[in-house]
């Protein structure tokens, strides 16, 4: 139960939502956009969040798109992880999103919510990062499209009140060969999901024109894609052992130690996973 009162709004357009946000902001309502609500509810009940107003984005048409439009897959921010999985328009995204939380919760969690989560894992982001996707942002008075990587650095950098409307992916990238793993403290999570938990290491690898793209979650306190690391992995000449040693030196932050695993163990899992990824993606081509 949430032990405080808050205002609830459900605007019908993206513009209206953003304008409302700014109005509420000036009235000190500490507004938050509301997608599936899993974090707002579970954190608010423990006073870890304290919004005085929430703006439900599920009524905004752009946020509810899930289809190919011309040469791009367009995914609205309010689509649930279950919907992404069931449509399976982008298999790697199904894998990454489909191992978050459990099925009941994924019926609520939205793609936008997962990208903007306060938790450090945000595993759906991994598929989006390696697929070079773009994001559509509603700002005050304008809609802008930008590459995800240009504004995703540890987290999605939006100005106050900006609303993530959609994610779009080049159609040809949705069917590139991929390899994706998730390890929790209790062991591997396969796909379809057979185990639940936060990642010790969650990965997404994609092979595009001979080059391996790689993104990681659970390793550092944020999900990331590393181009330096990709360079090493994609090097045809380098021996695997050397690749692994080099790759580990290209991490953007020290490896995490928490209740799910120590840094030393995470590094052990990372090395094993990288070796498997290189082996799996060797010589494979587009799955379309």
Partner 1 sequence: METTLAVGKSIPKKESWDKVTGAAKYNTDFNEPGLLHAWLVTSLYSHAIIKSIDKTKALEIPGVLSVVTGDSMPRLTGPVLEDRPPLAIGRVRYFGEPIAIVVADSLTRAKEAAGLVYVEYQPLPTVNSVKEALEEKSLLHEQLATYRHQKANEIFSLPGTNIANHIKIRKGNMTRGWAESEVVVDSVVKLPQSVHAAMEPRNARAEIKPDGKVIIHTSTQGPYDVKKDLSYYFNLEESKIVVLVPLVGGGFGGKTTSQLEILTLLASKAVHGRPVKLVESREQDFTSSPGHLGLEARVKLGATREGLLKAIEITCFVNTGAYTDSGTKMTRAMAADCTGPYNIEHVHGDAYCVYTNHTYVTAFRSFGRLSHTFAIERAMDKLAFALGIDPLELRLKNAIKPGHFTPTAVRLNSSNIGNLSACLERLKKLINWNEGIRIVTAHNKVRAKGISCLWKTSSSPPNATAGAIITFNRDGTLNLNVGAVEIGMGIKTALAQILSEKLQMDINKINVVMEVNTETSPKHWKTVASMTGFMVGNAVLDAAEDVIKQLCRTAAVVLRCPPEVLQVGGGRVFMKADPDIFVEFKNIVCGYEYPDGSSIGGEIIGRGNFIMHHLLPMDPETGRGRLGPAWAVGAQAVEVELDMLDYNYKILKAATVIDAGKVLNPKNARGVTMGGMCMGLGYGCREANLYDSGGVRINPQFRTYHLIRFGENPEYLVDFVETPQVDAPYGMRGIGEHGIIGMPAALANALSAAAQVNLDFTPLTPEAIWQAKKEVMS
Least distance to partner 1 from the beta carbon of 278, Å? 15
Whole-angstrom distance between the N-terminal and C-terminal Cα of the chain? 47
Least distance to partner 1 from the beta carbon of 7, Å? 16
Burial of 158 (0-12, 13-18, 19+ CB in 10 A): middle
In this structure, what is the dihedral angle of CA atoms 160, 217, 279, 91, given to the nearest 10 degrees? -60
Quote the CA–CA distance of 287 and 253 in Å, as a whole number: 33
Among 60, 176, 200, 281, binds partner 1 (CB under 8 A): 200
Binding to partner 1 by residue 172, rule CB under 8 A? no
CA distances (Å), origin 37, targets 27, 34, 106, 208: 22, 6, 11, 35
Between 110 and 273, CB nearer to partner 1 = 273
Cβ neighbors of 91 (< 8 A, separation 6 or more) are 174, 175, 178, 287
Among 82, 143, 262, 280, binds partner 1 (CB under 8 A): 262
Of 92, 67, 68, 97, nearest in space to 82 by CA: 97
Of 149, 202, 200, nearest in space to 179 by CA: 202
Among 154, 186, 240, 285, binds partner 1 (CB under 8 A): 186
Give yes or no for a contact between 221 and 120, defined as CB atoms under 8 angstroms apart: yes
Q: Which stretch binds partner 1 (CB under 8 A): 11-19, 77-85, 132-140, 190-198?
A: 190-198
Least distance to partner 1 from the beta carbon of 245, Å? 18
Binding to partner 1 by residue 139, rule CB under 8 A? no
Binding to partner 1 by residue 185, rule CB under 8 A? yes
Give yes or no for a contact between 151 and 164, defined as CB atoms under 8 angstroms apart: no
Among 7, 13, 42, 153, binds partner 1 (CB under 8 A): 42
Least distance to partner 1 from the beta carbon of 228, Å? 25
Least distance to partner 1 from the beta carbon of 233, Å? 19
Give yes or no for a contact between 93 and 204, defined as CB atoms under 8 angstroms apart: no
Binding to partner 1 by residue 197, rule CB under 8 A? yes
Least distance to partner 1 from the beta carbon of 39, Å? 11
The position carrying tokens 């945000």 is 122
Binding to partner 1 by residue 37, rule CB under 8 A? no
Binding to partner 1 by residue 261, rule CB under 8 A? yes
Binding to partner 1 by residue 67, rule CB under 8 A? no
Among 159, 237, 239, 259, binds partner 1 (CB under 8 A): 259
Scanning the chain, the segments in alpha helix (DSSP H) are: 14-26, 38-44, 81-87, 91-97, 103-106, 111-115, 124-130, 148-151, 227-234, 240-248, 263-281
Least distance to partner 1 from the beta carbon of 281, Å? 19
Between 123 and 134, CB nearer to partner 1 = 123
Binding to partner 1 by residue 188, rule CB under 8 A? yes
Least distance to partner 1 from the beta carbon of 194, Å? 5
**Site residues for partner 1 per CB under 8 A:** 1, 3-4, 42, 45-47, 102, 183, 185-188, 194-197, 200, 259, 261-262, 265, 268-269, 272
């Amino acid at each position: 139960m949430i032990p405080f009162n808050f205002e609830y709004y459900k605007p019908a357009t993206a513009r209206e939502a953003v304008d409302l946000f700014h109005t509420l902001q000036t009235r000190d309502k500490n507004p938050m956009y509301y997608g599936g609500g899993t974090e707002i509810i579970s954190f608010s009940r423990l006073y870890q969040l304290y919004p005085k107003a929430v703006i439900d984005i599920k009524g905004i048409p752009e946020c509810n798109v899930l289809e190919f439009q011309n040469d791009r897959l367009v995914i609205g921010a309010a689509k649930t992880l279950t919907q992404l999985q069931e449509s399976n328009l982008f298999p790697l995204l199904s894998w990454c999103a489909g191992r978050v939380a459990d099925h009941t919760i994924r019926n609520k969690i939205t793609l936008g919510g997962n990208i903007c989560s306060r938790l450090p894992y945000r595993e759906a982001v991994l598929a989006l990062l390696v697929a070079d996707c773009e994001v559509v942002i509603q700002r005050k008075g304008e809609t802008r499209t930008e590459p995800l990587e240009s504004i995703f650095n540890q987290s999605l950098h939006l100005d106050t009140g900006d609303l993530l409307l959609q994610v779009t992916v080049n159609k040809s990238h949705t069917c590139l060969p991929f390899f994706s793993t998730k390890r929790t403290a209790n062991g591997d999570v396969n796909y379809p999901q057979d185990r639940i938990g936060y990642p010790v290491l969650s990965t997404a690898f994609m092979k595009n024109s001979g080059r391996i793209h790689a993104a990681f979650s659970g390793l550092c306190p944020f999900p990331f894609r590393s181009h330096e690391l990709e360079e090493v992995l994609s090097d045809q000449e380098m021996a695997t052992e050397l690749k692994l040693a080099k790759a580990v030196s290209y991490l953007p932050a020290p490896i995490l130690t928490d209740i799910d695993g120590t840094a030393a163990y995470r590094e052990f899992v990372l090395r094993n996973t990288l070796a498997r990824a290189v082996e799996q993606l060797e010589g494979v081509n587009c799955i379309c």
